[in-house]
Amino acid sequence: MNTNYIIVSEYCEKCHIDPEFILLLDESGLVDLEVIGDESYLPVAQLKDVEQYTRMYYDLSINMEGIDAIRHLLKRIESLQEEVLDLKERLRLYE
């Protein structure tokens, strides 16, 4: 298997989380699991997001719908911050 993926069952065992939680994230569209045979694989690029979702779910008791709403808002904030930086750069041309 490609090193850009982590086996979900091993990740869950090491992090002490329920594998069903990762499957819920996949069903909710919050992560994209790759299923090969009997094994589910998580892209390494999504680990940061999974860790964030795990904290929201287990530490803050936020449900999947809440996590999805927060994810959407965080992406919107990031987009707006990029837009502000772009506008600042464009304004520098007129200084």
Q: DSSP letters along 42-94, please?
A: EEGGGHHHHHHHHIIIIIS---HHHHHHHHHHHHHHHHHHHHHHHHHHHHHTT
Is pTM, for the whole model, over 0.75?
A: yes
Which domains are assigned to the chain?
5-92 (1.10.1660)
- Residue 93 pLDDT level (bands cut at 50, 70, 90): confident
Look at residue 1 and tell me whether its pLDDT is greater than 60: no
Tens-place pLDDT, residues 4-61: 999 999 999 999 999 999 999 999 999 999 998 999 999 999 999 999 999 999 999 9
